[in-house]
Amino acid sequence: MHDTNDLIERFKLNEEITKIFQDIETKVLSIVNFKDFFDVLLVEIKAKFKIPYAWISLIDGSEISPLIQSLDTAKYFENQLSIIDRKKFLKLVGTTSKPVLINDNLRPYYCFFPPISSYFIKSLAIAPISLDGIVIGSLNQADFSRTRFQPGKDTRILEQLAIKVSICLSNVTVHEKLKSLGFHDPLTGLLNRSVIENILEREFKRDQRYANDLSVIFLDLDNFKRVNTIYGTDFGDNLLKYVADKITGMSRNSDIIGRYAGDEFVIILPETKAKNALNLINRLQSYFKHQPLRIKNTAIPVSISAGVASTEDRSIKSPATLLKRADEMLDLAKGTKERQSSQAIQPKKMSKVIPLPVVKKDSD
């Protein structure tokens, strides 16, 4: 009789869990963007499983982490998402898909936590999630109770939940990638021309309303066609990605960077005077002068030219004029550089030396 009751209770529990999974899956499978995915998924998990904390950790450098971090809504995910170093993740979780349960010495696992209070958490469950068969992070759940996620407990439900999350995440990622292609340059990952022009229009209006300084840098690579001719287009693509990465790394978070066309880049600098924009150009030129692109045993020199325009120039009355003026300044800079280069390689003409006559003094 006792065994029969146990079987009935276990059957009811399994039936209840299956219903929970179906409810969660029904709500998240139709979602095609990260914001709604995080909102609905994590809220549902917390409500259905009566868990106070639930969030996602992503391995830094995984396929999905830069995609989420590049979104305008990335800051929105701060309490739902954490980015974790790959080595730390593997050290604490390993390479298996098995969930890890912890209820003692949680400090080493703080790196998984988003900006939530870790002091009330007494037990933690970390269930690895994957994308196309590769572990990219984990679904994390935490409780005030030390026994909720006690090591040694059955983790099959957590594994099933992680699989459902992985499937849903894969679906959302595909849609977000397709959407991202409409806003970003597929080679460099920078914003594309149409987005840059829209943002410039927005920033220009804001500058006019609040009387802030707005500067624009128009930048391109010197001798880019020559690089493609000598080294091949693969090297040229790598050069564009290298320059895009360094511009991003040396710019402020508030600066907006885009690939405008070919080897041309545009940097929008809100609340920035022209002299500060010129300082950025000088830093970039100095960096590239001393840091060529290195591919295996080949070092490809990098040289850039740039022009700056700013709303400090009161004759500029539109975002299109601002961009055009920066482009004109770029042409001027390139012309100056080409003349200097041409003069440097010209053989110097020797002027004819006419000896002065020697005048002998009369002897006394």
Q: How far apart are CA 322 and CA 312, in angstroms?
A: 10
Q: What number of other Cβ atoms are within 10 A of residue 66's Cβ?
A: 14
Q: How far apart are CA 94 and CA 100, in angstroms?
A: 9
Joined together, the tokens standing for residue 284 give 């970039």
DSSP class of 111: G
Q: Could you read off the pLDDT tens digit of each residue along the chain, which spans 364 residues? A: 445 444 445 445 456 666 776 777 666 666 777 877 777 888 888 888 888 999 999 998 887 877 776 665 555 566 788 889 999 999 999 888 899 999 999 999 999 998 765 668 999 999 999 987 889 999 999 999 999 999 998 888 889 888 888 888 888 887 777 676 678 898 998 999 988 998 899 889 888 887 889 999 999 999 899 999 999 999 999 999 999 999 999 998 889 999 999 999 999 999 899 999 999 999 999 999 999 999 888 899 999 999 999 999 989 999 999 999 999 999 999 888 777 665 554 544 444 444 545 545 454 4
Q: How far apart are CA 222 and CA 65, in angstroms?
A: 33
Q: CB-side exposure of 103: number of CA atoms within 13 Å?
A: 12
User: In terms of Cα–Cα distance, which of 256, 237, 223, 149 is closest to 186?
Assistant: 237
Q: How far apart are CA 71 and CA 175, in angstroms?
A: 13
pLDDT of amino acid 246: 95
Q: How far apart are CA 299 and CA 129, in angstroms?
A: 40
Q: How far apart are CA 111 and CA 108, in angstroms?
A: 7
Question: In sequence order, what are the residues at sequence separation of 6 or more whose Cβ sits closer than 8 angstroms to the Cβ of residue 311?
Answer: 204, 207, 208, 213, 214, 215, 322
CB neighbour burial string for 158-186, b if at least 16 within 10 angstroms, e if fewer: beebbebbbebbebbbeebeeeeeeebbe
Q: Is the pTM of this model over 0.75?
A: no
DSSP class of 118: S
- CATH placement of domain 2-181: 3.30.450.40
| 189 φ/ψ sector (left φ>0, alpha ψ -120 to 50, else beta) | left
Helix, coil or strand: residue 34: helix
Let me know: does 222 contact 334? Beta carbons within 8 Å. yes
Q: Name 102's bridge partners.
A: 124
Alpha-helical regions (H) of 154-273 = 156-181, 193-210, 224-231, 233-250
- Residue whose structure tokens are 């360094």: 246
Joined together, the tokens standing for residue 213 give 């300084």
pLDDT of amino acid 116: 61
Superfamily of segment(s) 193-338: Reverse transcriptase/Diguanylate cyclase domain (3.30.70.270)
Q: How far apart are CA 179 and CA 174, in angstroms?
A: 9
Tell me how far CA of residue 114 lies from CA of 48, 56, 61, 168, 251, in angstroms.
Answer: 21, 9, 18, 21, 26
Sketch the domain layout of the chain as residue ranges. 2-181, 193-338
pLDDT of amino acid 110: 92
